Amino acid sequence: MATLGLSEAERESVERFERDVIEPSMTALVIVDFWAEWCGPCKQLSPVLDKVAEDYAAKGVKLAKIDVDQEKLLASQFRIQSIPTVYAIYRGQPVADLTNYRSEGQIKKVLDQLLDQLKIEPEGAAPQAEIEPLVAMGEQVLADGDAARAANIFRQVREMAPDKPEVIGGLVRSLIAGHEYSEADDILGGLPEELSKSPEISRARVALEIASAPKVDTSSLEARLAANPDDHEARLELANAKMADGDRDSAADALLEIVGRDREWNEGAARQRFLQLLEAQGLEDPWSSAQRRRLSALLFT
C-alpha cells in the first residue's frame, strides 16, 4: 500500500496494517475483522472470532481487528460498505470473505477448508515435504517387520509434527506390532476428538482392538464347526482369534465363509468384521484390495 501523500496518522495506519496483517499473513492465515464501537452485530460477532482465533492459534490462524472509525484509510482501501466485514488474508491477499459466517461452527468449518487448501502449517511445524518421506520410511520399516525400529522412527517424526494423524497412526500401529498395547492405548486415549475422527487414527484404533483381543484355544471352536458347519457364532469367534494371532488370511477365509453361507446373519456381523479387518490392514493395501474383490464376488454373483 503506497504511503506517498498520506498524513502522518495515515502512514502509521498503513504501518500497523503491514505489521499486524501483511507480515503475519506470509506464513499464517489472518482473519481481519472490520468493526466499530457503535456496531451491535460487531459486538455479537467479536467474542465468536476471539474464541475461534484462540482455538486455531496452534493451526496457523491469527486475528486482527480494524476499527473503521479509527482506520478510515484502510476501510476505504477495502471498500467496506457495511460492518461487520470479515476477510481471511494469506500472503497479503484476501482469500475468502467470511462475513456471512456468524457461528463458531460455520467459521471453523470454512477455516478447516482454507487451511487444507492453502497447506498452511502451524507456526514452527515442519513442512509436509519434510514429513512425507520420513513417514514413508517408517511404513516401509514396519512392513518389513521391524516394529521396534518403525516405532522409533515415528516417535522422532512426531516430535517434528505432533498432530499429524498419519504419524500418530503409524506410531500406534508400530507399537501394536511390537505388542506394546498399553502405550498404544494411552496415545489413542489422549487424542482430541477432531483428530480421532481421521481415517489414519480410525485404522490404528481398529488394529488395536483386533490385536488386543483375548487369546483363546481354537480347538473347541474347530470341533464345533466340524460338528456343525453352520455354527456361525463359532466361526466368528474363530475368525476373531485368528485376527488376534495375526493370521489375516485364515480370519478373512472364516468371515467370508459366514458371508457365503448367510450374508445377513446377526445383522451382517461377519461382513462388518471383515471390513474392520481390511481397515486395520489399510484399505489401499494390495491384500485388502484382493479381499474386497473376494467379498464382491460373494455379494454380487
Residues labelled catalytic: 39, 42
Q: What is the 3-state secondary structure (H, E, C) of the chain?
A: CCCCCCCHHHHHHHHHHHHHHHCHHHCCEEEEEEECCCCHHHHHHHHHHHHHHHHCHHHCEEEEEEECCCCHHHHHHCCCCCCCEEEEEECCEEEEECCCCCCHHHHHHHHHHHHHHHCCCCCCCCCHHHHHHHHHHHHHHHHCCCHHHHHHHHHHHHHHCCCCHHHHHHHHHHHHHCCCHHHHHHHHHCCCHHHHCCHHHHHHHHHHHHHCCCCCCCHHHHHHHHHCCCCHHHHHHHHHHHHHCCCHHHHHHHHHHHHHHCCCHHHCHHHHHHHHHHHHHCCCCHHHHHHHHHHHHHHCC
